Amino acid sequence: MSQAFKDLLKKVGSGSHTSRPLTRDEAADAGRMMLTQTATPAQIGAFLIAHRIKRPVPEELAGLLDAYADLGPMVMPIETEQPVAVLGCPYDGRSRTAPITPLTALMLAAAGVPVLLHGGDRMPTKEGLPFIDIWRHWRLPLDRLSLGQARSLLQETGFGFIYLPRHFPQAADLVPYRDQIGKRPPLATIELFWCPYGGNAHVVSGFVHPPTEVFAQATFALQGREQFTTVKGLEGSCDLPRSRTAIAGLAQADGTLQRLLLHPQDYGFSTEDVPLGDEAEYLESLSAVVLGKPSPLVESVIWNGGFYLWRFGVCDSLEAAFTQAEKMLTEGALFEKLEHIRQIATGLLGEVLNNC
Q: What would the pLDDT profile of 38-55 be if each residue is shown by its tens digit?
A: 999 999 999 999 999 999
pLDDT of 228-247, one tens digit each? Answer: 999 999 999 999 999 999 99
pLDDT of 264-318, one tens digit each? Answer: 999 999 999 999 999 999 999 999 999 999 999 999 999 999 999 999 999 999 9
Q: How far apart are CA 11 and CA 26, in angstroms?
A: 10
The whole-number pLDDT of residue 2 equals 84
pLDDT of 7-23, one tens digit each? Answer: 999 999 887 778 899 99
Query: Is pLDDT above 70 for 31?
Result: yes
Q: Are residues 193 and 158 in the same domain?
A: yes
Query: Is pLDDT above 60 for 58?
Result: yes
The predicted model gives 337-354 an average pLDDT of 86
* Most distant CA pair in the chain, distance: 62
Give the bridge partners for 258, in sequence order.
250
Cα–Cα distances in Å, from 111 out to 228, 297, 313? 19, 20, 10
Domain membership flag for residue 346: no
Backbone angles phi, psi at 84, to 5 degrees: -75, 125
CB atoms within 10 A of CB 147: 18
Which residue would you say has higher pLDDT here, 354 or 327? 327
Cα–Cα distances in Å, from 131 out to 89, 288, 290? 10, 17, 16
The count of domains in the chain is: 2
Domain membership flag for residue 353: no
The predicted model gives 146-158 an average pLDDT of 98
Query: Is pLDDT above 60 for 163?
Result: yes
Does residue 37 contact residue 177 with C-beta atoms inside 8 Å? no
Q: Are residues 8 and 46 in the same domain?
A: yes
Q: How far apart are CA 77 and CA 155, in angstroms?
A: 9
Q: How far apart are CA 119 and CA 183, in angstroms?
A: 18
CATH number for the domain harbouring residue 254: 3.40.1030.10
Query: Is pLDDT above 60 for 349?
Result: yes
Q: Are residues 275 and 306 in the same domain?
A: yes
Closest CA to 119 of 177, 175, 43: 175
Q: How far apart are CA 264 and CA 284, in angstroms?
A: 25
CB within 8 Å of 170: residues ≥ 6 apart = 35, 36, 37, 71, 72
Domain membership flag for residue 150: yes
The whole-number pLDDT of residue 355 equals 43
Q: At what angle do helices 24-35 and 58-71 cross, to 10 degrees?
A: 40
Give 84's Cβ-side CA count (13 Å radius): 26
Cα–chain center distance at 183: 19
Q: Are residues 190 and 50 in the same domain?
A: no
Q: Are residues 105 and 209 in the same domain?
A: yes
Residue ranges making up the domain that contains 218: 84-335
Residue 156: pLDDT band with limits 50, 70, 90: very high
Residue 1: pLDDT band with limits 50, 70, 90: low
Q: Are residues 91 and 197 in the same domain?
A: yes
The predicted model gives 314-324 an average pLDDT of 98
Query: Is pLDDT above 90 for 100?
Result: yes
Q: Are residues 24 and 172 in the same domain?
A: no
Q: Are residues 149 and 271 in the same domain?
A: yes
Q: Are residues 140 and 256 in the same domain?
A: yes
DSSP-derived 3-state class of residue 237:
coil
Q: Are residues 110 and 259 in the same domain?
A: yes
Residue 356: pLDDT band with limits 50, 70, 90: very low
The whole-number pLDDT of residue 18 equals 80
The rounded mean pLDDT for the chain is 95
Closest CA to 137 of 102, 173, 86: 102
pLDDT more than 70, % of the chain: 98
pTM of the model: 0.96
For the chain, report the end-to-end CA distance as a whole number of angstroms: 42
Domain membership flag for residue 261: yes
